[in-house]
Amino acid sequence: MAREAGGEPARTADIFDPSAGQVQRRVALGGKAELDQAMQAALAAQPAWAATNPQRRARVMFRYKELIEANMQNLAELLASEHGKVVADAKGDIQRGLEVIEFCCGIPHALKGEYTTGAGPGIDIYTMRLPLGICAGITPFNFPAMIPMWMFGPAIATGNAFILKPSERDPSVPVRLAELMSEAGLPDGILQVLHGDKEMVDAILDHPDIKAVSFVGSSDIAHYVYSRGTAAGKRVQAMGGAKNHGIVMPDADLDQTVNDLCGAAFGSAGERCMALPVVVPVGEDTAERLKAKLIPAIEALRVGVSSDPDAHYGPVITAAHKQKIEGYIQMGVDEGAELLIDGRGFKLQGHGDGFFVGPTLFDRVTTEMTTYKEEIFGPVLQIVRAKTFDEAVELPSAHQYGNGVAIFTRNGNAAREFASRVNVGMVGINVPIPVPVAYHSFGGWKRSGFGDHNQHGMEGVRFWTKVKTVTARWPDGGFDLPRGSEDGGPARLGDSFVIPTMG
């Protein structure tokens, strides 16, 4: 059974209902003792799981997919109640994770090795892709379903055991996801959820039997996890924060672009690493036309509780985060940006304690401003005006983050040049949030990603496995091969050879 281990009851974290602004439950925070216990179960279970043929492991994924689909509504409501995103967004969060599970249903194909016959006289070479052993994932609050599934799907399908340390701010959906894995037939000890904060993360990074760690969260912590984990000899991939730019060319379809910007900047209250919080119109005329359309569109956005089916977005995760975002808005004013729409002090009727921030729009933001350099992670859109296409390419390229970027244009040549020149990991062409599908891979550059392998797709398979290469020569063993039957018919080597059942 998937295990949820608690910690010393003395250390707990509050889990809020962000729409109400109230604590709804607490989670016990664990540390080394809980990890050691989970590791015993993982170490005992993993060899048999690794030896289970890939087709059988894939069958667990097929059953899991059905269970997630059957539980979509209640998982989405639970997710929305702890995170604050609206239920439709919560379903998207689960769906994008589920697509990685669908990829994992084909894991036998992805694990096929390479083979060369006749690499030398009588020599054949083949590779095996093998699990690493026990692996771990540390996940952020903002995608409590998708990001755990990005990690544990391929890690488990390739034959590893997995310890998941979800965000302590919305840990209930990750626990349910692990319980459903048990229902799907995953053996005990292969997927375990451990709750905690820095103490648990450090225990994971220092544990000698954990071979690989995947992290997604803010950049300073990503860098810390990468440094400490690799120093301990582990394989580490650590995805960090972001500040994605949307370039708007003079020929862009502005109605479509404004619609896309509203979704990408304000959806999920801007708490997405692939949000578009910076828009870069090219030329003054484009900037003015864009601004004229953006203001009414943003003013029409509906902020509501996470269960409101008509709301565009809900509250942010905590009161502290709301305060931080409002602090950035004040900083933008102090730095001299032009505040066109101010979302501070937003109160939703009947939910006065909820952690809501109204949509906010700044114009004339410049590259020297701290509010431009840093990730705000809230419903704040900043207009940075560029004079030329080259300047527009340079802005995201020079920024410390390099997760995603988008260009809005009808000019294929400009789009193509932009995609090849821009120094960012994921590019959208008239696609505001270019999160690659599950069979491609996800990963940003610069301070948005530390390590060599991206998430999911074949990159995920490579991250969670190691390659063994066998070079084989079969010399003449000194016995005669039967090369033909007495009556001159074919050899009967396979007379008693029966193909065994693989499944």
The residues of the shown chain that bind ligand NAD, judged by CB under 6 A, are 138-143, 165, 167-168, 197-198, 201, 216-218, 221, 239-242, 273, 375, 377, 403, 444, 448
Residue 369 amino acid letter: M
Check the CA dihedral 83-85-91-94 and report its sign: negative
Tell me the backbone φ, ψ of residue 155, rounded to 5 degrees. -60, -45
DSSP string, 455-491: BSHHHHHHHTEEEEEEEEE----SS----S-TTS---
Dist CA 373 CA 446 (whole Å): 14
- Angle, helices 198-206/219-231, rounded to nearest 10 degrees: 30
Residue 478 Cβ, how far from ligand NAD at the closest point, in Å? 59
Residue 291 Cβ, how far from ligand NAD at the closest point, in Å? 27
Cβ proximity to ligand NAD: between 440 and 466 the closer is 440
DSSP string, 35-78: HHHHHHHHHHHHHHHHHS-HHHHHHHHHHHHHHHHHTHHHHHHH
From the centroid of its chain, how far is CA 245?
19
Residue with tokens 């066109």: 340
Q: Is 273 a catalytic residue?
A: yes
Cβ proximity to ligand NAD: between 165 and 312 the closer is 165
Residue 277 Cβ, how far from ligand NAD at the closest point, in Å? 10
Provide the 3-class DSSP secondary structure of residue 293: helix
Cβ proximity to ligand NAD: between 287 and 438 the closer is 438
Q: CA distances (Å), 280 to each of 46, 248, 298, 380, 433, in order?
A: 50, 6, 17, 14, 15
Cβ proximity to ligand NAD: between 86 and 414 the closer is 86
Cβ proximity to ligand NAD: between 188 and 197 the closer is 197
Cβ proximity to ligand NAD: between 306 and 454 the closer is 454
Cβ proximity to ligand NAD: between 184 and 201 the closer is 201
Cβ-contact 108, 58 below 8 angstroms = yes
Q: CA distances (Å), 23 to each of 17, 127, 176, 317, in order?
A: 6, 52, 20, 12
Residue 445 Cβ, how far from ligand NAD at the closest point, in Å? 10
Cβ proximity to ligand NAD: between 273 and 365 the closer is 273
Among all residues, whose Cβ is closest to ligand NAD? 217
Cβ-contact 213, 236 below 8 angstroms = yes
Cβ proximity to ligand NAD: between 76 and 138 the closer is 138
Residue 66 amino acid letter: E
Residue 169 Cβ, how far from ligand NAD at the closest point, in Å? 7
Q: CA distances (Å), 4 to each of 152, 156, 171, in order?
A: 15, 17, 10
From the centroid of its chain, how far is CA 489?
60
Closest by CA to 154, choosing from 452, 442, 468, is: 442
Residue 242 Cβ, how far from ligand NAD at the closest point, in Å? 5
Cβ-contact 272, 237 below 8 angstroms = no
Residue with tokens 């050691």: 36
Selected catalytic residue, list 104, 135, 262, 273: 273
Residue 115 Cβ, how far from ligand NAD at the closest point, in Å? 35
Residue 309 Cβ, how far from ligand NAD at the closest point, in Å? 25
Q: Within 247-368, where are the H helices?
A: 254-266, 284-299, 319-335
Residue 457 Cβ, how far from ligand NAD at the closest point, in Å? 14
- The residues carrying an active-site annotation are 273
